[in-house]
């Protein structure tokens, strides 16, 4: 999705803006641009392709302004081109604007502005914004220091849809105005300088102190002063928050790609997720949500709602919650949930899972549940992200910044935190076997060590990836939680290798998919639940008989039954085995992508956080 960076201070803005844009490259984009303001003149430079292409533009190194805005665009309205990329300016070149989000009524606004004499150079929805600001600015006869602010506020009131905007005006060389609605924006505060970004990692190397904007807030940013307003321009107060992410975590640290680095961080990140919530022989600690036994006894259903990998994390933990709490759990795709009138009332607990905390569908699904009276819990990795501000309670995964588009460490941290939550509910309700709860707790504590063991034995998976990277289709099979890992493994492979792949519950094979199995096809089997071993083995034998090449991920002692490759992983409690079994499959997708020479971290057409529908 699009990325935003801004700077106002005493240093040259251009290199800071380009550096920030480069740190946002992982979000996915097709063009980039910057505007800086100097001597009451706005320079506007943009180019298609990579951020580094900005350096090819004549005069970019001569931009000396100390105030500037910048953007990476992921096309929504109008194809990727120089004209459509941001910043966009009004006809008189008085204002320059960058925008994330979608202006739903832009056609209507465009018609209105055209009638008022404005013309448009691009096919974007965004270009209406600077012209609308100019429209209000030129109508305002009061030439005081708030005229710029009033014009932005009036324009924002006309916008339907979502936006995070930065605006500069040639009449106000010391002031930048930013605003947001349903699209993330943070302000990094420094000494005699302030930074703006759509994502914290863009400016993490400059400051750790942030103001997190809420919807319908407008901000005046000077280098040494920040004024916050609501949409009607009443002043509001905001707390400065300190974010303890280490800037080095946003670097590759010697790894070839962010994805590989993030896969290898998982022993550490799972340990961080567990943190002080779980200590041997002590009840699981969730002081931060503190749900009473009466409340938990009163609820009759739990929803786990999310998108993509985060939804797969929900699927992995559904069986554990149902086992320990005896409450039915529905895992739902946020974009489906929000439009299907789900049955929700005050006896429903809704848990929303999102690494970024900014996924538009997940956020909308959360808002829907609140209007129906349900309690809501947000599980997020990003401090202060939108879902954390909407939910009744928030639980952070503490996995550190995840930069690669393909989610890896966020998934294992989500499964870990949801498993802890299941244990917490189970202990509060007190209806399941203490021994079972203790076994899972002990196994969770051993996970970081076991993850390390998996990561120290990657040669076989690398070798198998080399054998099959030219395949057109790859199938994943599993039962129970192994099926949920199949879904995640298949998504990972599709995302970064562009190989078509399907995941099936192994028992479904005979109900159709087996028709696709032919000589030489690759099938990956995941077999970790001792109760289901013989069933899964039989299904794998059925595909071997039909000529499939097989890769097996298992923690069981399987007899050699003509498998092409077996990856043995440490044993653990079956309910939490996805945290281990997914890792070789993350690596499988990674090495296939590398063999194909693809850009692992920035797969085509994908964005790290999907902030529009």
Determine which residue in the list 162, 355, 572, 593 makes contact with ligand M6R, applying CB under 6 A: 355
DSSP code of residue 214:
P
Angstrom distance (rounded) from CA 384 to CA 612: 19
| Assigned token pair, 210 | 């942030």
User: DSSP letters of 69-138?
Assistant: EEEEE--SSS-SSTTTSSPEE-TTS-EEEEEES-BTTHHHHHHHHHHTT---SSS-STTHHHHHHHHHHH
The helix (run of H) or strand (run of E) holding residue 496 is: helix 481-497
Stretch that binds ligand M6R, among 20-28, 349-357, 448-456, 529-537 (CB under 6 A): 349-357
Q: Is residue 266 within the footprint of ligand M6R (CB under 6 A)?
A: no
Q: Nearest to residue 229, comparing CAs of 221, 239, 238, 219?
A: 219
Site string for ligand M6R, 165-204 (x = CB under 6 A): ----------------------------------------
| Residue 333 CA: distances (Å) to CA of 101, 276, 503 | 21, 31, 17
In the sheet that holds 473-478, the strands lie side by side as 500-505, 473-478, 522-527, 549-554, 565-568
400 binds ligand M6R (CB under 6 A): no
Q: Is 405 in the site for ligand M6R (CB under 6 A)?
A: yes
Between residues 130 and 308, which has the closer beta carbon with respect to ligand M6R? 308
Residue with tokens 């076989």: 460
Site for ligand M6R in 591-610 (CB under 6 A): 606, 609-610
According to the binding rule CB under 6 A, does residue 495 interact with ligand M6R? yes
Contact status: 501 vs ligand M6R (CB under 6 A): no
Q: Would you give the binding string for ligand M6R spanning residues 63-82, x where CB under 6 A is met?
A: --------------------
Indicate whether 126 belongs to the interface with ligand M6R (CB under 6 A).
no
String of b and e for 498-521 (b: at least 16 CB within 10 Å)?
A: ebebebbbbbebeeebeeebeeeb
Nearer to ligand M6R among residue 66 and residue 407 (C-beta) = 407
Shortest spacing between CB 573 and ligand M6R, in angstroms: 25
In b/e form, how buried is each residue of 580-590, taking b as 16+ CB within 10 angstroms? bbbbbbbbbbb
CB of 236 to ligand M6R, least distance (A): 28
- Angle, CA 560 vertex, CA 558 and CA 562 arms, to 5°: 125
Query: Which of the residues 46, 318, 375, 608 is marked catalytic?
Result: 608
Choice between 8 and 383, CB closer to ligand M6R: 383
Measured distance CA(501)–CA(498) in Å, rounded: 9
DSSP letters, 1-19, are: --EEEEEESSS-HHHHHHH
- Give yes or no: 2 in active site: yes
Among 43, 273, 362, 497, binds ligand M6R (CB under 6 A): 362
The answer to whether 363 and 369 are in contact (CB under 8 A) is: no
Q: Which stretch binds ligand M6R (CB under 6 A): 172-180, 257-265, 405-413, 436-444?
A: 405-413
Q: Is 156 a catalytic residue?
A: no
CA within 13 Å, CB half, 435: 0
| Cβ proximity of 48 and 82 under 8 Å | yes
Which of 154, 354, 416, 581 touches ligand M6R (CB under 6 A)? 354
Among 182-190, 210-218, 351-359, 586-594, the segment contacting ligand M6R (CB under 6 A) = 351-359
* Nearest to ligand M6R of 428, 610 (CB atom): 610
**Binder of ligand M6R out of 84, 126, 183, 359 (CB under 6 A):** 359
- Centroid of chain to Cα 32: 21
Integer Cα distance of 450 and 454 in angstroms: 6
> Based on CB atoms, which residue is closest to ligand M6R, 406 or 523?
406
Minimal distance, residue 43 CB to ligand M6R, in Å: 35
Q: Taking CB positions, which residue lies at the least distance from ligand M6R? A: 308
- d(C-alpha 455, C-alpha 453), whole Å: 5
514 DSSP 8-state letter: G
Shortest reach from residue 27's CB to ligand M6R, in Å? 11
Catalytic residue among 2, 14, 169, 350: 2
Tell me whether residue 127 or residue 358 sits nearer to ligand M6R (CB atom). 358
User: Per-residue contact track with ligand M6R, 25 to 64, x per CB under 6 A?
Assistant: ----------------------------------------
Instruction: Please identify, using beta-carbon distances, which residue of 309 and 394 lies nearer to ligand M6R.
Output: 309
Task: Tell me how far, at minimum, the Cβ of 410 lies from ligand M6R, in Å.
Answer: 6
Cα three-residue angle 453-457-458, rounded to 5 degrees: 130
Taking CB under 6 A as the rule, does residue 386 contact ligand M6R?
no
Q: Are 36 and 6 in contact (CB under 8 A)?
A: no
Based on the shown chain and the rule CB under 6 A, indicate whether residue 407 belongs to the binding site for ligand M6R.
Answer: yes
Give the contact letters, 294-333, x = binds to ligand M6R (CB under 6 A), - = no.
Answer: -------------xxxx-----------------------
The answer to whether residue 356 forms part of the interface with ligand M6R (CB under 6 A) is: yes
Cβ atoms < 10 Å from Cβ of 481: 25
Region near ligand M6R per CB under 6 A, out of 198-206, 243-251, 320-328, 356-364: 356-364
Burial of 196 (0-12, 13-18, 19+ CB in 10 A): buried
Residue number with CB closer to ligand M6R (12 or 494) = 494
Chain residues in the site for ligand M6R (CB under 6 A): 307-310, 354-356, 359, 362, 405-407, 495, 606, 609-610
Report the catalytic residues. Answer: 2, 608
């Amino acid at each position: 999705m699009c990325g935003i960076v801004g700077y106002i201070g005493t240093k040259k803005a251009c290199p800071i803006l380009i550096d920030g844009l480069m740190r946002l490259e992982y979000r996915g984009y097709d063009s980039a641009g910057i505007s800086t303001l100097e001597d009451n003149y706005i320079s506007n430079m943009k180019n298609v392709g990579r951020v580094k292409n900005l350096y090819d533009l004549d005069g970019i190194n001569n931009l000396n302004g100390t105030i500037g805005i910048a953007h990476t665009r992921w096309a929504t309205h109008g194809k990727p081109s120089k004209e459509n990329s941001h910043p966009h300016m009004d006809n008189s070149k008085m204002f320059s604007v960058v925008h994330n989000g979608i202006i739903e009524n832009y056609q209507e606004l465009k018609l209105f502005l055209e009638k008022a004499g404005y013309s448009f150079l691009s096919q974007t929805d965004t270009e209406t914004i600077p012209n609308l600001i100019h429209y209000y600015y030129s109508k305002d006869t009061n030439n005081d220091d708030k005229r710029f602010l009033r014009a932005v506020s009036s324009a924002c009131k006309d916008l339907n849809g979502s936006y995070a905007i930065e605006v500069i005006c040639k009449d106000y060389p010391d002031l930048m105005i930013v605003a947001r609605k349903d699209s993330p924006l943070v302000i990094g505060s420094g000494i005699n300088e302030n930074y703006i970004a759509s994502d914290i990692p863009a400016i993490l190397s400059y400051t750790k102190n942030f103001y997190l904007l809420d919807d319908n807030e407008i901000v005046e940013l000077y280098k040494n002063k920040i004024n916050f307003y609501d949409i009607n321009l009443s002043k509001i107060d905001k707390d400065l928050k300190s974010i303890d992410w280490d800037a080095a975590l946003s670097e590759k640290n010697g790894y070839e790609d962010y994805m590989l680095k993030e896969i290898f961080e998982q022993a550490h990140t799972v340990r961080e997720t567990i943190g002080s919530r779980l200590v041997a022989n002590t009840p699981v600690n969730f002081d931060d949500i503190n749900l009473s036994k009466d409340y938990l006894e009163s609820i009759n259903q739990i929803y786990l709602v999310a998108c993509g990998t985060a939804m797969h994390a929900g699927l992995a933990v559904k069986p554990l919650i149902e086992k320990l709490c005896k409450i039915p759990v529905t895992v739902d795709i946020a974009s489906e949930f929000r439009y299907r009138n789900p049955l929700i009332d005050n006896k429903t607990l809704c848990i929303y899972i999102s690494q970024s905390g900014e996924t538009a569908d997940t956020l909308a699904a959360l808002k829907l549940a609140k209007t129906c009276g349900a309690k809501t819990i947000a599980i997020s990795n990003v401090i202060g992200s939108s879902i954390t501000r909407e939910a009744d309670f928030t639980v952070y995964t503490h996995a550190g910044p995840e930069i690669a588009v393909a989610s890896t460490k966020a998934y294992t941290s989500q499964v870990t935190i949801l498993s802890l939550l299941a244990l917490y509910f189970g202990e509060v309700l007190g209806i399941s076997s203490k021994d079972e709860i203790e076994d899972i707790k002990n196994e969770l504590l051993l996970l970081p060590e076991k993850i390390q063991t998996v990561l120290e034995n990657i040669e076989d998976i690398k070798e198998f990836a080399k054998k099959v990277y030219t395949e057109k289709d790859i199938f994943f099979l599993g039962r129970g939680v192994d099926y949920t890992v199949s879904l995640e493994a298949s998504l990972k492979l599709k995302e970064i290798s562009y190989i078509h792949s399907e995941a099936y519950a192994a028992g479904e094979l005979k109900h159709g998919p087996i028709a696709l199995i032919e000589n030489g096809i690759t099938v990956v089997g995941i077999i970790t639940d001792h109760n289901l071993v013989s069933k899964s083995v039989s299904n794998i034998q059925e595909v071997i008989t039909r000529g499939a090449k097989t890769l097996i991920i298992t923690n069981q002692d399987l007899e050699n039954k003509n498998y092409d490759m077996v990856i043995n992983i440490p044993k653990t409690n079956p309910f939490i085995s996805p945290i281990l079994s997914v890792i070789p499959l993350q690596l499988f997708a990674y090495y296939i992508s590398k063999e194909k020479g693809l850009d692992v971290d920035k797969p085509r057409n994908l964005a790290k956080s999907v902030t529009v529908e």
